[in-house]
């Protein structure tokens, strides 16, 4: 049995952290569903930037959009929603079989809105309506300005993938925003089941501290943070507030381990996947990591519910001179900036391709 199937059987969902039109057209996505047990998919501005930049498969859609008078963000979201809804249809059966727990795909609002609460809510509602799929997540960053947008989107029935979370404190703030939205729905007599996941970025913790801590502590901070957040996740779900919400029909906001591709070439390619296996969670893997784990990965034991020695590990890294709280804030800020850079490049790529198509007369 492949390691991906073993992980799935343990109770951790495997989602692909990638989407391209070529992957959809070639049948590659269905192959991953059938052979590597993936049950969902995520996207972000960087993924779409690379997909459109590195393929001619989008040229016809760009040309059609131009003829319809579309450009910029409007043209992009037409293209992205086409890909995302096609992917959602691949996972529709899984979504139905799991009673709406699994089988989701994710589309992110413009990262230019990361600090604009009202516009984020408006765009999230619009994209969810346009997608017209029950298994569509709208990704909203868990920035301070994003938190009230998350609450409001949930209240309005929009499933949300909270992205750009790095620390336990980030996760707890996202969980609070989600729960507030659910509690408002309960108070208003609305169905409290609105799906959500909280996406915790893992590998980005280890890159900035490489060479700044003893060698034996390298590539351990991301794992320790993942374990710390899993412990907090279990504790949160057992509180009276959450139990009350569950009694009204709400579902947990599942914890998602994101950015689990190994960035250090000297480390095992499935380092984070093996270390962060846990039931009722999700691991969203880059394509290369998914293939590697399916080929030669190993499933270790589940994350200890009590957090194991994660606090000891984090304390050692702090003692080596790393301000973990400050790093969490910087990682979230840098992550938002990175997505903005990818978004701006994406708009430039679309504009460039559009200009070339107009010149050629296509």
337 is catalytic: no
Q: Is the four-CA dihedral 239, 278, 168, 294 of positive or negative sign?
A: negative
Please report which confidence band the pLDDT of residue 308 belongs to, taking 50, 70 and 90 as the band edges: very high
- Is residue 227 within 8 A of residue 304, CB to CB? The reply is yes
Q: Which of 139, 231, 274, 316 is catalytic?
A: 139
Domain enclosing residue 85, as ranges: 3-360
Pairing of strands 12-16, 105-108: unpaired
How far apart are the C-alpha atoms of 242 and 251, rounded to whole Å?
9
- Report pLDDT for 141: 94
Number of domains into which the chain is organized: 1
pLDDT in tens, 215-240: 999 999 999 999 999 999 999 999 99
pLDDT in tens, 179-200: 999 999 999 999 999 999 999 9
Give this prediction's pTM. 0.96
- Report pLDDT for 343: 92
Structure tokens at 136: 């569509």
Alpha helices (runs of H) in the chain, residue ranges in sequence order: 3-10, 21-26, 28-36, 45-53, 59-67, 72-90, 92-97, 117-131, 146-155, 168-187, 221-237, 240-247, 271-275, 287-296, 310-319, 324-360
The 3-state DSSP class for residue 202 equals coil
The DSSP-derived string for 37-65 is -EEEE---HHHHHHHHHT-STTHHHHHHH
Structure tokens at 231: 């412990």
- CATH code, domain with 232: 3.20.20.70
């Amino acid at each position: 049995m492949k390691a991906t199937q073993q992980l799935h059987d343990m109770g951790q969902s495997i989602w692909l952290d990638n989407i391209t039109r070529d992957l959809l057209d070639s049948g590659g996505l269905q192959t991953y569903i059938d052979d590597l047990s993936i049950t969902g998919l995520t996207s972000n501005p960087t993924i779409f930037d690379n997909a459109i930049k590195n393929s001619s498969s989008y040229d016809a859609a760009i040309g059609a959009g131009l003829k319809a008078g579309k450009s910029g963000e409007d043209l992009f979201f037409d293209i992205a929603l086409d890909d995302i809804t096609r992917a959602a249809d691949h996972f529709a059966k899984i979504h139905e079989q799991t009673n709406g727990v699994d089988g989701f795909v994710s589309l992110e609002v413009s990262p230019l809105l990361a600090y604009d609460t009202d516009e984020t809510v408006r765009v999230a509602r619009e994209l969810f309506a346009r997608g017209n799929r029950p298994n569509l997540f709208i990704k909203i960053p868990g920035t301070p300005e994003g938190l009230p947008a998350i609450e409001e989107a949930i209240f309005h029935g929009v499933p949300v993938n909270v992205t750009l979370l790095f620390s336990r404190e980030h996760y707890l703030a996202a969980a609070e925003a989600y729960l507030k939205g659910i509690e408002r729905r309960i108070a208003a007599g609305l169905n409290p089941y609105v799906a959500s996941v909280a996406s915790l970025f893992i590998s980005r913790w280890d890159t900035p501290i490489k060479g700044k801590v003893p060698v034996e502590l390298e590539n351990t901070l991301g794992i320790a943070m993942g374990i710390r957040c899993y412990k907090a996740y279990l504790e949160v779900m057992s509180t009276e507030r959450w139990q009350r919400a569950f009694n009204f029909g709400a579902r947990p906001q599942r914890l998602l381990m994101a950015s689990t591709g190994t960035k250090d070439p000297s480390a095992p390619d499935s380092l984070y996947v093996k270390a962060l296996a846990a039931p009722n969670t999700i691991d969203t893997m880059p394509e290369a990591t998914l293939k590697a784990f399916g080929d030669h990965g190993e499933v270790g034991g589940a994350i200890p519910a009590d957090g194991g020695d994660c606090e000891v590990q984090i304390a050692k890294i702090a003692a080596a001179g790393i301000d973990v709280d400050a790093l969490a804030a910087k990682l979230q800020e840098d992550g938002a900036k990175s997505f903005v850079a990818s978004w701006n490049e994406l708009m430039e790529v679309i504009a460039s391709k559009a200009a070339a198509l107009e010149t050629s007369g296509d």
